């Protein structure tokens, strides 16, 4: 790995909470890279046609976008080591243009990859125990989870253990490599859902029963895209031992009965809708009952072995103390971008990848290197990628916050806007994506500039704003408090607005406010929505709460008053 | 409506694709070569499309992009393909 170390070369205190590959993992990845190298060579020589090659490259995370190939790199459940982040910087410099974009699937996308370099890029990834397998295709994609897994105060059970079990189960699963359509699983282990489990094909919430035994509430059939659906509960409690068997039963029913003729009606949500949740459950129960359960039983020893790989880091015995700094800007940042861990004296720090006028989720290779250094110094060499397109340092001593804040400020990563209006989720949109109908990034940049006044953002309070460049909804616009969807009208960009979405425990789909707005009117439209809220809100009432009280009507009236 | 159907109704079209080796947007020139520069593209009448879309091993996804009467890309998508991301070619954060 060039000058970098493998994870296993690091002392234990510098590899906390990172799943560590063994020789089997590494041998497999090396073989897979060489297989792909041969496939690329056969494509370039003309032995393989594009129709033959396309599914192969997609299975290795390589898309062809508007201007170049794009490599989507899996960051398993968003957990990343400093070593791995440095290697991503190496890839960004060597194979791309010196930057990358973090996504709502907790992945990283490099937008300027050459086909002839693709195998070398995958080989470089493998050196850091990373890959791009199953970041595309009709298979089970990267499992996502809570960015505060393992450190959150409200956590019941660490979801990384089960996310890793699901990763191992789903990677190259021979039965589920050609599903009717892609399949996304999210898992949370806390009382607050920070993983948007209700809008995934399967959403898992870890619980304990009265005896303290671990199990899972299972949502199924959630999803966004052109037919957004909040998932239905198919089981309130699947015991830990049966997790794999139960998910296998769901996938089997979907694989056998899901639609394959119409790509737009092939996700599991359509099957659940057509059968009804009770009808779908009956088929899953039937399949589950017929399975050789012992064969799929999740062995407690195996769970314990996986859990050992996420052993709690060696932390100091500290007390929770108030941290202050003479600079008043520190207190604002501390309040907005940090949260206390369950271990006293430690906090999680969210690095905002959302500066004023910046590209949401974008990061330069130089920033990656610098953040890796900060992770080594302040966070036991560990980071998290959030589905909000930010990064988290999860193991920071609170007493280190002032010096860390100054370092992050110098890097442009300390904008105190986490959870505020300018913490916008935006997909790559028409500037990069071949599926997009309209641009997302410039709209997000313009909105962040319009609302650059942080005092005003803090006055507005918690507000999520998500912008997707097409109905595929990569930015989850349906579940933004304010959602913006780019549409094409005769070659021109227009933007449809939804209000009232939510991705957390009170998951809801936004309602379309009215006719869409032209590109030069969308920022003013958001301004009007915000002003309407500020005028009508009651004391302490958040945007979402005000919308739920008021409904669409007052927003429609102000938005379309001049029409 | 598909791109080709749109192109048939356009004032003019240019033949475009992505280059196999690096995915770069390329335009077919008057001599049958491929150029990364939109200005090099041959502007042709939509009614000759059927004879101009033959497969070429050097490129992927050949199609006709609709142009305006001024021989500029007719849609935002084709403008961005022709001239690069609107956030800059080196759109670092």
Task: Show pLDDT as tens, one digit a residue, over chain A (563 residues).
Answer: 333 344 444 444 444 456 678 898 899 999 999 999 999 999 999 999 999 999 999 999 999 999 999 999 999 999 999 999 999 999 999 999 999 999 988 999 999 999 999 999 999 999 999 999 999 999 999 999 999 999 999 999 999 999 999 999 999 899 999 999 999 999 999 999 999 999 999 999 999 999 999 999 999 999 999 999 999 999 999 999 999 999 999 999 999 999 999 999 999 999 999 999 999 999 999 999 999 989 999 999 999 988 988 887 889 999 999 999 999 999 999 999 999 999 999 999 999 999 999 999 999 999 999 999 999 999 999 999 999 999 999 999 999 999 999 999 999 999 999 999 999 999 999 999 999 999 999 999 999 999 999 999 999 999 999 999 999 999 999 999 999 999 999 878 999 999 999 999 999 999 999 999 999 999 999 999 999 999 999 999 999 999 999 999 999 999 998 66
Is residue A417 included in any domain, yes or no? no
pLDDT band, residue B92 (cuts 50/70/90):
low
Which pLDDT does position B9 carry in this prediction?
A: 78
A158 with A300, same domain: the answer is: yes
CATH number where A108 lies: 3.90.480
- Within 8 A of A65 by CB-CB distance, chain B residues are 23
- Quick one: DSSP state of residue A274? H
Q: Which of B85, B86, B88 to mutate against chain A (most A CBs within 10 Å)?
A: B85
List the alpha helices (DSSP H) in A208-356.
243-257, 268-290, 293-296, 300-309, 328-337
Is residue A29 included in any domain, yes or no? yes
Structurally, chain A folds into a number of domains equal to 4
A282 with A381, same domain: the answer is: no
Quick one: chain B helix, strand, coil %, rounded to 5?
Answer: 25, 30, 45
**CA terminus-to-terminus distance, chain A:** 61
The residues with which A223 forms a beta bridge, in sequence order, are A229
Closest CA to A497 of A474, A521, A533: A521
Computed from CA positions of residues A523, A526, A531, A534, in that sequence, does the dihedral angle turn out positive or negative?
A: negative
pLDDT band, residue B91 (cuts 50/70/90):
low
A150 burial via Cβ count (<10 Å: 0-12, 13-18, 19+): buried
A163 with A295, same domain: the answer is: yes
Torsion (CA) A368, A398, A145, A451 in degrees, nearest 10: -70
Spatial distance between the Cα atoms of A187 and A195, rounded to a whole number of angstroms = 6
Is residue A382 included in any domain, yes or no? yes
Q: Is beta strand A482-489 parallel, antiparallel or unpaired with respect to A492-499? A: antiparallel
**Residue B26 sits at the chain A interface (C-beta within 8 Å):** no
Spatial distance between the Cα atoms of A353 and A103, rounded to a whole number of angstroms = 11
Which pLDDT does position B93 carry in this prediction?
A: 57
The count of C-alpha atoms lying within 13 angstroms of the C-alpha of A139, restricted to the half-sphere facing its C-beta, is 26
Nearest to B86 among A44, A362, A442 (CB): A442
Which pLDDT does position A277 carry in this prediction?
A: 98
Q: Which of B10, B90, B92 to mutate against chain A (most A CBs within 10 Å)?
A: B92
Quote the domain boundaries for residue A400: 328-411
The count of C-alpha atoms lying within 13 angstroms of the C-alpha of A237, restricted to the half-sphere facing its C-beta, is 10
A211 with A353, same domain: the answer is: no
- For residue A237, the surrounding DSSP H or E stretch is strand A232-239
Mean pLDDT of chain B: 87
- Within 8 A of B36 by CB-CB distance, chain A residues are none
A385 with A447, same domain: the answer is: no
Q: Is beta strand B12-19 parallel, antiparallel or unpaired with respect to B59-67? A: antiparallel
SS3 at position B84: coil
Spatial distance between the Cα atoms of A302 and A323, rounded to a whole number of angstroms = 41
SS3 at position A162: helix
- Estimate to the nearest angstrom the gap between the alpha carbon of A291 and the chain centroid: 32
Residue A88 and residue A6 in contact, taking contact as beta carbons nearer than 8 Å: no
**Residue B86 sits at the chain A interface (C-beta within 8 Å):** yes
**Residue B47 sits at the chain A interface (C-beta within 8 Å):** no
Cα distances (angstroms) measured from residue A261 to each of A122, A256, A258? 33, 13, 9
State whether B87 and A359 contact (CB < 8 Å).
yes
Spatial distance between the Cα atoms of A487 and A381, rounded to a whole number of angstroms = 42
Is residue A314 included in any domain, yes or no? no
Is residue A359 included in any domain, yes or no? yes
Spatial distance between the Cα atoms of A274 and B5, rounded to a whole number of angstroms = 34
Residue B62 and residue B55 in contact, taking contact as beta carbons nearer than 8 Å: yes
A40 with A97, same domain: the answer is: yes
CA gyration radius, chain B: 13
Residues 6+ apart with CB under 8 A from A36: A56, A60, A118, A119, A122
Choose one of A388, A411, A434: the last residue of a domain.
A411
Choose one of A355, A387, A411: the last residue of a domain.
A411
- Quick one: DSSP state of residue A359? P
A178 with A121, same domain: the answer is: no
CATH number where A473 lies: 3.30.413.10
Which pLDDT does position A316 carry in this prediction?
A: 93
SS3 at position A442: helix
Q: Is beta strand A382-385 parallel, antiparallel or unpaired with respect to A362-364? A: unpaired
Q: In what order do the strands lie in the sheet with A391-397?
A: A79-81, A382-385, A391-397, A346-351, A338-340
Is residue A515 included in any domain, yes or no? yes
Spatial distance between the Cα atoms of A88 and A391, rounded to a whole number of angstroms = 14
Is residue A297 included in any domain, yes or no? yes
- Within 8 A of B37 by CB-CB distance, chain A residues are none
Which pLDDT does position B47 carry in this prediction?
A: 81
A452 with A534, same domain: the answer is: yes
Describe the crossing of helices A401-411 and A365-378 by its angle, rounded to 10 degrees.
170
The count of C-alpha atoms lying within 13 angstroms of the C-alpha of A490, restricted to the half-sphere facing its C-beta, is 4
φ/ψ (deg, to 5) at B26: -130, 155
User: Cα distance from A390 to chain B (closest Cα, Å)?
Assistant: 13
Is residue A212 included in any domain, yes or no? yes
A32 with A166, same domain: the answer is: no
Q: Which of B24, B62, B91 to mutate against chain A (most A CBs within 10 Å)?
A: B91
Which pLDDT does position A237 carry in this prediction?
A: 98
């Amino acid at each position: 790995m060039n000058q970098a170390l493998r994870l296993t070369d690091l002392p234990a205190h510098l590899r906390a909470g990172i799943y560590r590959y063994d020789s089997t993992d590494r041998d497999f990845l090396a073989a897979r890279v060489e297989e792909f190298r041969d496939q690329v060579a056969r494509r370039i020589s003309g032995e393989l046609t594009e129709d033959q090659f396309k599914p192969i490259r997609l299975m290795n995370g390589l898309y062809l976008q508007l201007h170049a190939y794009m490599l989507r790199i899996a960051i398993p459940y968003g957990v990343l080591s400093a070593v791995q982040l440095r290697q991503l910087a190496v890839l960004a410099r060597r194979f791309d243009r010196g930057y990358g974009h973090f996504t709502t699937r907790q992945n990283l996308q490099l937008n300027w990859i050459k086909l002839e370099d693709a195998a070398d890029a995958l080989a470089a990834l493998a050196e850091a125990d990373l890959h791009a397998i199953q970041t595309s295709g009709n298979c089970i994609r990267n499992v996502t989870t809570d960015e505060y897994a393992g450190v959150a105060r409200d956590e019941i059970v660490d979801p990384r253990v089960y996310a890793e079990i699901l990763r191992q189960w789903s990677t190259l699963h021979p039965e589920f490599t050609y599903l009717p359509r892609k399949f996304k699983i999210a898992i949370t282990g806390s009382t607050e859902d920070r993983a948007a489990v209700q809008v995934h094909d399967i959403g898992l919430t870890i619980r304990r029963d009265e005896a303290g035994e671990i199990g899972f509430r299972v949502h199924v059939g959630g999803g966004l895209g052109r037919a957004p659906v909040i998932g239905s509960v198919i089981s309130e409690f699947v015991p830990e031992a049966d997790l794999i068997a139960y998910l296998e039963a769901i996938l089997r029913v979907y694989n056998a009965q899901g639609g394959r003729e119409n790509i737009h009606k092939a996700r599991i949500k359509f099957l659940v809708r057509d059968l009804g949740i009770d009808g779908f459950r009956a088929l899953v129960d039937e399949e589950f009952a017929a399975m050789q359960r012992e064969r799929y039983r999740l062995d407690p020893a195996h769970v314990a072995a996986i859990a050992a790989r996420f052993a709690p880091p060696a932390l100091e015995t500290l007390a929770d103390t108030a941290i202050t700094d003479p600079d008043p800007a520190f207190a604002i940042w501390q309040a907005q971008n940090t949260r206390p861990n369950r271990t006293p004296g430690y906090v999680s720090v969210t690095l905002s990848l959302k500066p004023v006028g910046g590209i949401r989720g974008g990061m330069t290779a130089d920033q990656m290197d610098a953040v890796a250094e900060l992770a080594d110094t302040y966070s036991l060499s560990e980071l998290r990628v959030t589905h909000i397109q930010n990064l988290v340092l999860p193991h920071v001593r609170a007493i280190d916050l002032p010096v860390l804040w100054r370092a992050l400020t110098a890097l442009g990563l300390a904008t105190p806007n986490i959870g505020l209006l300018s913490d916008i989720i935006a997909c790559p949109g028409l500037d990069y994506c071949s599926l997009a109908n309209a641009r997302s990034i410039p709209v997000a940049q313009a909105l962040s500039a319009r609302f650059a006044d942080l005092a005003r953002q803090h006055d507005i309070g918690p507000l999520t704003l998500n912008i997707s460049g097409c109905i595929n909804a990569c930015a989850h616009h349906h579940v933004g408090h304010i959602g913006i969807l780019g549409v094409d009208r005769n070659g021109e960009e227009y933007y449809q607005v939804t209000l009232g979405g939510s991705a957390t425990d009170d998951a809801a789909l936004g309602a379309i406010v009215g006719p869409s707005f032209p590109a030069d009117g969308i920022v003013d439209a958001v301004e009007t929505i915000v002003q309407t809220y500020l005028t009508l809100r009651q004391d302490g009432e958040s945007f979402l709460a005000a919308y739920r009280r008021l409904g669409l009507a007052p927003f429609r009236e102000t938005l379309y008053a001049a029409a | 409506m598909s791109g080709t159907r749109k192109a048939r109704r356009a004032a003019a079209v240019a033949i475009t694709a992505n280059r196999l080796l690096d995915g770069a947007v390329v335009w077919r020139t008057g001599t049958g070569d491929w150029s990364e520069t939109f200005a090099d593209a041959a502007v042709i009448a939509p009614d000759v499309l059927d004879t101009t879309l033959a497969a070429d091993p050097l490129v992927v996804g050949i199609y006709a992009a609709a142009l305006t009467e001024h021989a500029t890309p007719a849609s935002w998508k084709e403008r961005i393909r022709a001239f690069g991301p609107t956030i800059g070619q080196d759109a670092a954060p």
